[in-house]
Structure 1
Amino acid sequence: MFVVVFRILLWKPFFERKDIVGQPDKPRILFWTTIFGAWFSHMSENGTIELPYWEQNPKCADRCFISNDRGTIDVSDAVVFYYCDLNASDMPDRRAQGQKWVFWSLESPTNCDMTPLVSWKTAINWTMTYRLDSDVLDAYGTITPKKVPTVYSFESLRDQWMRKSIMAVWPVSHCDTFGKREHFVEELRKHMRVDVYGKCGNYSCPRFTGCHRKFAKKYFFLLSFENTICKDYVTEKLYFTLLFDIIPVTFGGADYKALAPPHSYIDALSFKTPKDLAIYLKQVAENFDLYKSYFSWKGAHDVKRFTYYTFCNLCAKLYSSSFHERSAYPDVVQWWNDSSQCRGWNKDTMTLS
């Protein structure tokens, strides 16, 4: 049995520390792991950045230091571990009693190896994920009401609609997934045309070449299908698609009604079968009044893709009363894996299982 043993640090929280010039210190956040095998790209040469760290983050009101220098663990107020890069044999050998260890993930539980986390399941204080019940929310995007509503041009939309000729497009890079979206699309293609781009199809559109803009010119719908069907898991596939004049068709475990405006998407899993979905999509594509109803929300809402406000939120939490409170997950594996309720689509029963 793997036993976790720590050396206790002679550590002071930031509000009891002074910086090198004798001024009150700021909270320090240490990235212990890489993120998908690489360090956070906005680090300076000495491995440190300070929030707010570039002009895209005007809302980052609080100031914190972020570092990947493991030598700073003795003065770090939070230590962040990215789920997919965890290594059970490469964890800190010491920690401070008041130091917050943060479990971070943008991936669903099924997309990375759970094994390294098991040995450390009682060591986590805070979670920072896409899950709505995380201590720090790390969403792939946001949809918010506009301060000043604008007028959306339905005349321009009608011109686009008349030029569109193909039902749906599916850009995809993972062909065999836990959620079995590929089986759903296989059935769907029996009833309507779906052009598949990427590693799993016959069409290609290199990244960063304006693919979605090209898709919006010829397709009525884009399949925004997640690779896993897990609680709250919704990625940039939805948010990025909403930026264009093409209707996203979703497939996932999130409560889309709570995340997106009514009539901004079509939920594939709300239909009994892929055939039923195809019948409805054809109705929408053939009727402009029905089609345009899926764009009415655009004049009243703004969509933002993934930003790094997450670190601003983590920084703010270190300034809050939560930092002073003792907190720890009795079993973060249970919270992350079991309560995420990940399922897959069964092509035999055409249900989730």
Structure 2
Amino acid sequence: MTSDFTVGKPKEESAHKAKEDGSYKTNEKTADNTLKETANKLNKESVPNTKKSQKKDRFGDDVKHPILLWWTYSPGKRPGEYVSCGNVKCYITDDKEYFDHDLTRILMFYGTDMLMNELPLPRHPKHEWGLLHNESPKNNRYWFSHPEIMHMFNYTSTFKRESDYPITTQDVEDIEYLQTKKYYIPLQEKNKLLAKEGLAPIVYVHSDCNVPSDRDAFVKALQKYIPVDAYGKCQNNKKMPPHIDGLLQLQHKDFFKLMAKYKFTLAMENAVCDDYVTEKFWRTIHLGSVPIYFGSPKIKDFLPNDPSAIIIQDYKNISQLADFIHHLNKNDEEYAKYMQHKVQGVTNKYLIDRVKNREWGYTGNRKYYHWTAGFECYACSKMHENLKREKLGEQTEIHQSKQDHYGCPPPKRFDLETESTEQFTVERWNEEYLMTQTESKLLIKWIAQGKIRFKENDLIKEGLKLRGINY
């Protein structure tokens, strides 16, 4: 997954391509007692602000539509714009002067940029919180793996299918992206290139090193059994051509052509979490190489065909995995079975439905160009629903997010046959997980007690103290 999720995204005005006759519909979720109790704790000390903002919109007019306020907005400046979402409209901005405005109803957070010591507290009774987080748990200390943090939010859009507005297939342009033969090299030609250019059967390109998934240690162990061409900073035994060297060149056509020459590609995520499937996997499928995959335990739900990837978890040990790769490398008929998506097309109905039925996309007749715009409109619709209830004198509905809307497990190391020099890395990330696990409970306690002004270091220091660790 790219660290900048706006790659290929146009200006925000064009990201919203809402059809005027297509309002967003969704099934309502009722919060259970546990989650309601958590919500009550969060708002226990919250009181309405007596100072009401009469701030006009950036065009100088009175705001007449519900306001969605981005509290942390990663893509950049959002001065304010009216957005049509079906038959309703909202004013979307990142200007925090709208915090006290009568029509502000949802505060939106982008997960990677969210700091727990900079939350908008005390929490206004009429404010709901939304979380947009498409990235790895390592990007923000595993905060969102813990129920106490996830229960603070009312609406979510994450890679998890359980979230309110799931974006699991965010790196798939469309089904044709997986089927195209634009860079595909037929098997017989691949075999010739392997011999002619002295290529290894497997390629590994990663420059984000020492990550929670422990992938670098795994690759070192695998190389004892089968050759791997490693181009990245983490492992490097092969030099990338200068004009495509570096992270900024990963979308270069010459980089694609080089990767397409390889029969197998190590597609290993930087963290293990259900539905966290990034471009590392999808790009490999796109280019016509067989992914050797490690990451989401539910990856088989998204395979274009059965089979179309080698799943590392399916093998007892690295030696057994290497034996199977050697077998496929020597057996053209067996290898060809993994390329059926390039011959007969994608047959996985679940994958087809998830991609074709989503509201957003870069191709085809979609409501929204980008999933950010889709989630904004989802939240906009929710604001209008509750405002309508307010006008009718009805009780507004409180939605509450659950841990499985993001929650990822703590990191684990590979059970390697030989000791890895990278093992300390996993221990470091597991410590991060344990720290935020304690700090999340402490944070909720402080909020309930009305302690809402503190430094990040205060939270870390007190968390370590509770765990019996000297700061």
TM-score range, shorter chain: 0.7 to 0.9
> In proportion to residue count, which structure has more strand?
1
Q: Is 1:92 equivalent to 2:120 in the alignment?
A: yes
Instruction: Give the structure 2 partner of residue 125 of structure 1.
Output: 154
Tell me: CA distance 1:110–1:309, structure 2 relative to 1, closer, same or farther (3 Å). closer
Measure the CA separation in 2 of the matches of 1:248 and 1:92: 43
Contact 2:309/2:338 (CA < 8 Å) preserved in 1?
yes
AA matched with 1:254: P
Instruction: Give the structure 1 partner of residue 326 of structure 2.
Output: 282
Deviation at 1:226, TM superposition (A): 0.7
Identical aligned residues as a percent: 22
TM-score, normalised on structure 2? 0.58
AA matched with 1:275: S
Encode CA deviations 1:71-117: one digit per residue, 9 max, x unaligned. 22333332122222222332223554343201232233344225699
AA matched with 1:69: D
Instruction: Give the structure 1 partner of residue 413 of structure 2.
Output: 345
Tell me: CA distance 1:156–1:23, structure 2 relative to 1, closer, same or farther (3 Å). same
Measure the CA separation in 1 of the matches of 2:384 and 2:332: 51
Instruction: Give the structure 2 partner of residue 106 of structure 1.
Output: 134
Encode CA deviations 1:166-220: one digit per residue, 9 max, x unaligned. 2111111222122211221111111111122222122343332336413334311
Contact 1:231/1:342 (CA < 8 Å) preserved in 2?
no
Contact 1:178/1:228 (CA < 8 Å) preserved in 2?
yes
Deviation at 1:68, TM superposition (A): 1.7
Alignment of 1:188-267 (within 5 A): 188-202=222-236, 203-204=239-240, 205-206=245-246, 207-208=248-249, 209-210=252-253, 212-262=255-305, 263-267=307-311
Contact 2:156/2:405 (CA < 8 Å) preserved in 1?
no
Aligned length: 326
Point out the more displaced range, 238-247 or 109-118: 109-118
What SS does the corresponding residue of 1:346 show, helix, strand or coil?
coil
Alignment of 1:131-170 (within 5 A): 131-139=160-168, 140-142=170-172, 157-165=186-194, 166-170=200-204
Measure the CA separation in 1 of the matches of 2:217 and 2:257: 26
Deviation at 1:322, TM superposition (A): 9.9
Point out the more displaced range, 2-11 or 172-181: 2-11
Q: Is 1:293 equivalent to 2:322 in the alignment?
A: no
Which of 381, 388, 400 is 1:319 aligned to? 381
Measure the CA separation in 2 of the matches of 1:119 and 1:150: 42
Which of 212, 220, 229 is 1:178 aligned to? 212
Encode CA deviations 1:108-166: one digit per residue, 9 max, x unaligned. 334422569998665321222111111221323348666xx98979x961353233312
Tell me: CA distance 1:138–1:284, structure 2 relative to 1, closer, same or farther (3 Å). same
The structure whose Rg is larger is: 2
What SS does the corresponding residue of 2:297 show, helix, strand or coil?
coil
Measure the CA separation in 2 of the matches of 1:242 and 1:217: 10
Tell me: CA distance 1:122–1:271, structure 2 relative to 1, closer, same or farther (3 Å). closer
AA matched with 1:71: E
Instruction: Give the structure 1 partner of residue 97 of structure 2.
Output: 71
Deviation at 1:21, TM superposition (A): 6.3
What SS does the corresponding residue of 2:129 show, helix, strand or coil?
strand
Tell me: CA distance 1:309–1:273, structure 2 relative to 1, closer, same or farther (3 Å). same
Task: Note the aligned Cα RMSD (angstroms).
Answer: 4.2
Instruction: Give the structure 2 partner of residue 16 of structure 1.
Output: none
Q: List gaps (5 residues or longer) in structure 2.
A: 1-40, 53-58, 195-199, 347-351, 356-360, 364-368, 387-396, 419-425, 431-471
Contact 1:31/1:81 (CA < 8 Å) preserved in 2?
yes
Which of 308, 322, 325 is 2:370 aligned to? 308
Contact 1:129/1:137 (CA < 8 Å) preserved in 2?
yes
Q: List gaps (5 residues or longer) in structure 1.
A: 13-18, 53-58
Instruction: Give the structure 2 partner of residue 32 of structure 1.
Output: 71
